[in-house]
């Protein structure tokens, strides 16, 4: 099994003073892990997070980027702006972006491509809604999100991408997918990637689970053979809770 990639998705939380306190608390708590630790913070906290994590094992990510390098796109952020700020990762296609901000598989592909071209590591989110799962369409939805969202992505590019499988019904709801549900869905996603890129590329690919993952359930989820990490929302807002997820799994 691989070491894990544990990423915190702060979403629209933490003023700079709060971010400062959280990062300060987090640093000593995660310093001994062999897992990769990422915090994806609001744009306004990026500079602070990059500065505060210099020389530590904590990597910094943003939560979105645009596909153009510059231009008349009010309120958008170009990938090169993130790189210049010292950012390494960027979340793309989170279900909240898909639900509230019109994100589609096509825009996910554009953003992912631009992020890769700038040298960022995209964390690309996929996942089905409850209605899609209950109507037996989970596999169809995941397959479409992968085939369309990665249509022009090469095997070489895939090496710099992390996938986050996040069933929409488990995000922020307190309902976690069971270990088996998460394992089965992620194994299915890996099989779709294997069909497109070959088994070796699919096996190397990091696929995280996300959706109400916390200190209580992380160990069991991260022990499943196909789950290569977690994308953590609510529990990443408290240093001790996030650190417990980071430290829940040792190879």
**Could you identify the residue written with the tokens 């231009």?**
71
String marking each residue 114-153 x if it binds ligand PGA according to CB under 6 A: ----------------------------------------
Q: How far is the CB of 72 from ligand PGA (least distance, A)?
A: 30
User: Judged by CB, which is closer to ligand PGA: 78, or 92?
Assistant: 92
Bridge-based pairing state of the strands 206-210 and 229-232: parallel
Rg (CA), the chain: 17
Q: Give the binding-site size for ligand PGA (rule: CB under 6 A).
A: 13
Query: How crowded is residue 41: how many other Cβ atoms within 10 Å of its Cβ?
Result: 28
Contact call for residue 39 and ligand PGA (CB under 6 A):
no
Rounded CA separation 241/154 (Å):
36
Q: Kindly state whether residue 231 participates in binding ligand PGA, applying the rule CB under 6 A.
A: yes
Q: Considering the complex, what minimum distance in angstroms separates the CB of residue 106 from ligand PGA?
A: 22
Q: Is 94 in the active site?
A: yes
Do 105 and 126 form a contact (C-beta atoms < 8 A)? Answer: no
Annotated catalytic residue: which of 59, 66, 94, 103? 94
Judged by CB under 6 A, does residue 65 bind ligand PGA? no
Min separation Cβ 11 and ligand PGA, Å: 7
Residues 6+ apart with CB under 8 A from 151: 109
Check if the beta carbon of residue 193 is closer than 8 Å to that of residue 201.
yes
Q: Does 167 bind ligand PGA (CB under 6 A)?
A: no
Q: Which residue is nearest to ligand PGA (CB)?
A: 233
Cβ proximity to ligand PGA, 70 vs 99, nearer residue? 99
Q: In the complex, what is the shortest distance from the CB of residue 233 to ligand PGA, in angstroms, rounded to a whole number?
A: 2
Site string for ligand PGA, 187-226 (x = CB under 6 A): -----------------------xxxx-------------
**Residue 16, number of CB atoms within 10 A of its CB:** 14
Q: Is 107 in the site for ligand PGA (CB under 6 A)?
A: no
Give whole-number Cα distances, 127 to 33, 109, 205, in Å.
28, 15, 17
Structure token digits, residue 250:
């040792």
Active site residue 166: yes
**Measured at the alpha carbon of residue 232, what is the angle toward residues 228 and 237, in degrees to the nearest 5?**
145
Taking the least distance from each CB to ligand PGA, the nearer of 153 and 171 is: 171
Q: Which CB, 222 or 232, lies closer to ligand PGA?
A: 232
Q: How far apart are CA 233 and CA 241, in angstroms?
A: 11
Q: Tell me the C-alpha distance between 86 and 96, whole Å.
A: 25
Residues that bind ligand PGA (CB under 6 A): 9, 166, 171-172, 210-213, 231-235
Which residues are designated catalytic?
94, 166
């Amino acid at each position: 099994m691989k070491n894990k990639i544990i990423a915190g998705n702060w979403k629209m939380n933490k003023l700079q003073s709060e971010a400062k306190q959280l990062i300060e608390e987090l640093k000593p708590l995660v310093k001994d892990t062999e897992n990769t630790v990422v915090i994806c913070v609001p744009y306004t906290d990026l500079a602070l997070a990059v500065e505060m994590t210099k020389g530590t094992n904590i990597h910094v990510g943003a939560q979105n980027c645009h596909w153009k390098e510059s231009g008349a796109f009010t309120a958008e952020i170009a990938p090169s702006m993130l790189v210049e700020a010292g950012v390494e990762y960027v979340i793309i296609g989170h279900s909240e972006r898909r639900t509230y901000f019109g994100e589609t598989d096509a825009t996910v592909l554009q953003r992912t491509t631009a992020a890769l071209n700038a040298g960022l590591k995209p964390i690309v989110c996929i996942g089905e809604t409850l209605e899609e799962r209950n109507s037996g369409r989970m596999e169809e939805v995941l397959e479409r999100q992968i085939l369309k969202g990665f249509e022009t992505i090469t095997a070489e590019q895939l090496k710099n991408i992390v996938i986050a499988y996040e069933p929409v019904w488990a995000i922020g709801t307190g309902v976690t997918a069971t270990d088996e549900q998460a394992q089965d869905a992620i194994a299915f996603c890996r099989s779709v990637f294997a069909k497109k890129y070959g088994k070796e590329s699919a096996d190397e690919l990091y696929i995280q689970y996300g959706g109400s993952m916390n200190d209580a359930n992380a160990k069991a989820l991260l022990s499943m053979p196909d789950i290569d990490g977690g994308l953590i929302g609510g529990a990443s807002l408290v240093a001790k809770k996030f650190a417990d997820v980071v430290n829940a799994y040792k190879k």
